[in-house]
Amino acid sequence: DLKPSNVLISHDGDRPSARVIDFGVAKATAEPLTDKTLVTGIRQLVGTPLYMSPEQAGQSDLDIDTRSDIYTLGVLLYELLTGVLPFDPASFEGAGYAGIQHLICDIDPPRPSSRLSRSTSESSMVAENRRMDRRQLVGMLRGDLDAIVMKCLEKRRDRRYESAASLAEDISRFLRDEVVHARSPGFGYRARKFVHRNRIAAVASLLVTIALLSGSSLAVWGMIQARKDRDDALAAKAAESEQSRIATERAESLRRELYRSTIMRISDIVNSGTADPIKMDLDACDADLIHWEWRRLRMLADTSDETIATGAGAIRCIRFDPSGERYLLAEESERISLRSAIDHRTLRSLVHASPAVAARDVQFSLDGRRAASANDENSVFVWDVESGEVIRRIDLAFGNLLSVALDGDGGRIAVGSFWNDTYIFDVASGREMYRLKPPAHRARSLQFFDGGRLLMIGSLATDVCVFDVDRGVMVWHEPVGEFVIWSARVSPAEDVVVATSGDARIAGFGATSGDRLFDEHVDKVERGAMAIDDASGLIFLAAEDGLITAYDLKTGERRFVLRGHEAGVSSLAVNPRTGALLSTSSDGVIKRWDVRRN
């Protein structure tokens, strides 16, 4: 039962000590009073109402704990600071149990500073006891002490201090002129506390601020003077404009002369056979001065591992056999040659019945024993690779053939054209097996996989498709972008179909599921061929500007660029055994890039 008459102040040496001398409420509730008693329990209105917490005045004792004592301590602190209780004792007289409950539970007492401001006689007496002016006392209470007292007197116990130790700590913080927890610590409040605690530092900061303001004033004066000087300089600049023009012309002349001397110097270096150091100097040239001579020298700064001159004209297509020991080369000069992948010598020439017609596309069967070609007119040929003999010729009723593909043992052949549907024929009989209509028509890219059971179709429309040849059903088809597909290839090892479209997109799909794995924008529309290296996880795209760009097979992100071709790149192929990338161009040049090794 905390109240002034039950609190005794004693002295332990020079240190005062507060002691509670009446535990009548605790005894009245028949609770054991031991060293482990932590909460105040009450099941009836027991205690002094003027010092009673809202939960003690309530109907239930379930919410009563040590925070009820915090409320009573707040009443004591209120009385110590103001000389009066939070509630007028007269209002409790004759109020009855319900009235007392209403006053304690629902009515908020005024702040201590407000109470003293309104009560002149009481505040004057308290101020006299404190030996200070009343207004000074009110000012001292306003703020931190108001907040500490009112936090103790919160109606809701969860908004009070958790314990008497927390209350004591906040009072100690007030006495040390630190930020108290009972208040919201705004910037101005924290600043005032800092100044009170650090008066010397605050005065020093003020002096520094005054010095800065003085310096700013001098700076403003200097700015005004500088503007005057600037006006004088502008007048002088008008007279110097002609000299400036002459100097600019001289600088431009020197810049062009530097470019010319750089080109001549690098040309001498290239002719001497030491071309490696020139790339940085070439890249440092100003872009507006660059012409054919720069591009020629930049091409000579070749990063490929080998350059093979075929002696032929433009090369249309190159394909490796599954062993990686040979490759087929289709030339613009109507010749198809089988070459060694080691020394690039011609092993055999495959001659069409109509030799004046060049092949558009060539492909090996998955077992490497047969090869197929589609020419510019309307004929498709299937060859025996070892003998070079034609096994089957199929003449179609339409031309503009684009692509051809053989299945696992070369028993079935797929043919795509620019305007028509995609056809699948039986090689032994030449009989038409399937005719695939949109979205699988106008096939620019064809590739059998999964042992020849599945056929990937990259359409000149917007879709890439996978067709089950054994069952004769479309497995899936998905658009790549909003424009035509330029190239598409399958990575059987990674189960990925990769395709590029005319709106500068590269997309990857699950080869058997059709799930879209990635969809990325590329720097430019890659209209050339494509090759995939499963071992290094790279996609290679050829471009008409002679560059070859590598992308990540799993994410479609750009990795690096291969430079070296002077003409546009027409075809790409990866050696499945060594991982070497062969690229062909329209000027009859083949380049080898050891991507895995490098």
Q: In the structure encoding, which two tokens stand for residue 24, read together?
A: 């009548």
Cα angle: 464, vertex 467, 473; to 5 degrees: 130
**How many Å apart are CA 147 and CA 356, to the nearest integer?**
102
Q: Region of 588 please: left (phi>0), alpha (psi -120 to 50) or beta.
A: left
CATH number of the domain enclosing 12: 1.10.510.10
The number of angstroms, rounded, from the C-alpha of 567 to the middle of its chain's C-alpha atoms is: 38
Residue 305 has what pLDDT? Answer: 87
pLDDT of 27 > 70? The answer is no
From the CB of residue 337, how many other CB atoms can be counted at a distance below 10 Å? Answer: 18
Residue 490 has what pLDDT? Answer: 96
345-375 residue pLDDT tens: 999 888 765 555 678 899 999 999 999 999 8
Choose one of 267, 300, 333: the last residue of a domain: 300
Q: Is residue 278 domain-shared with residue 129, that is, in the same domain? A: no
Residue 40 has what pLDDT? Answer: 45
Residue 500 lies in a domain: no
Which of 569, 557, 545 has the alpha carbon at shortest distance from 521?
Answer: 557
Q: By the 8 A CB rule, do 322 and 339 touch?
A: no
377-415 residue pLDDT tens: 788 999 999 998 999 999 988 878 889 999 999 999 999
**How many Å apart are CA 204 and CA 217, to the nearest integer?**
20
**How many Å apart are CA 458 and CA 441, to the nearest integer?**
9
From the CB of residue 269, how many other CB atoms can be counted at a distance below 10 Å? Answer: 17
Residue 465 lies in a domain: no
Choose one of 173, 192, 211: the last residue of a domain: 192
Residue 76 lies in a domain: yes
Average pLDDT over residues 115-121: 74
> Three-state SS for 561?
strand
Q: Is residue 86 domain-shared with residue 157, that is, in the same domain? A: yes
pLDDT band for position 320 (cuts 50, 70, 90): very high
Q: Is residue 8 domain-shared with residue 72, that is, in the same domain? A: yes
The helices-and-strands tally (H runs, E runs) of the chain is: 13, 30
Range of the domain at 296: 203-300
Q: Is residue 94 domain-shared with residue 161, that is, in the same domain? A: yes
Cα angle: 165, vertex 167, 171; to 5 degrees: 115
Residue 143 lies in a domain: yes
Residue 493 lies in a domain: no
Q: Is residue 160 domain-shared with residue 97, that is, in the same domain? A: yes
520-539 residue pLDDT tens: 888 766 567 899 999 999 99
Q: Is residue 36 domain-shared with residue 113, that is, in the same domain? A: yes
Which of 99, 110, 108 has the alpha carbon at shortest distance from 45?
Answer: 99
Structural domain count of the chain? 2
Q: How buried is 109 (Cβ within 10 angstroms: 0-12 exposed, 13-18 middle, 19+ buried)?
A: buried
**How many Å apart are CA 598 and CA 550, to the nearest integer?**
13
Residue 44 has what pLDDT? Answer: 47
Percentage of the chain modeled with pLDDT above 70: 87
178-197 residue pLDDT tens: 888 888 766 666 666 666 66
Cα angle: 578, vertex 581, 584; to 5 degrees: 140
What average pLDDT is seen over the chain? Answer: 83
Q: Is residue 174 domain-shared with residue 222, that is, in the same domain? A: no
**How many Å apart are CA 220 and CA 116, to the nearest integer?**
51
Q: Is residue 277 domain-shared with residue 172, that is, in the same domain? A: no
pLDDT of 299 > 70? The answer is no
Q: Is residue 98 domain-shared with residue 24, that is, in the same domain? A: yes
Residue 330 CB partners (closer than 8 Å, separation 6+): 315, 316, 317, 318, 336, 358, 359, 360, 361, 362, 373
Q: What is the DSSP letter of 302?
A: -
Residue 517 has what pLDDT? Answer: 95
Residue 177 lies in a domain: yes
Residue 118 lies in a domain: yes
Q: Where do the H-state alpha helices sit in 278-398? A: 278-283, 292-300
**How many Å apart are CA 197 and CA 217, to the nearest integer?**
31
In one letter, which amino acid is 123? S
**Which of 244-253, 456-465, 522-531 is predicted least confidently?**
522-531
pLDDT of 99 > 80? The answer is yes
Q: Is residue 156 domain-shared with residue 227, that is, in the same domain? A: no
pLDDT of 430 > 90? The answer is yes
Residue 52 lies in a domain: yes
Choose one of 263, 281, 300: the last residue of a domain: 300
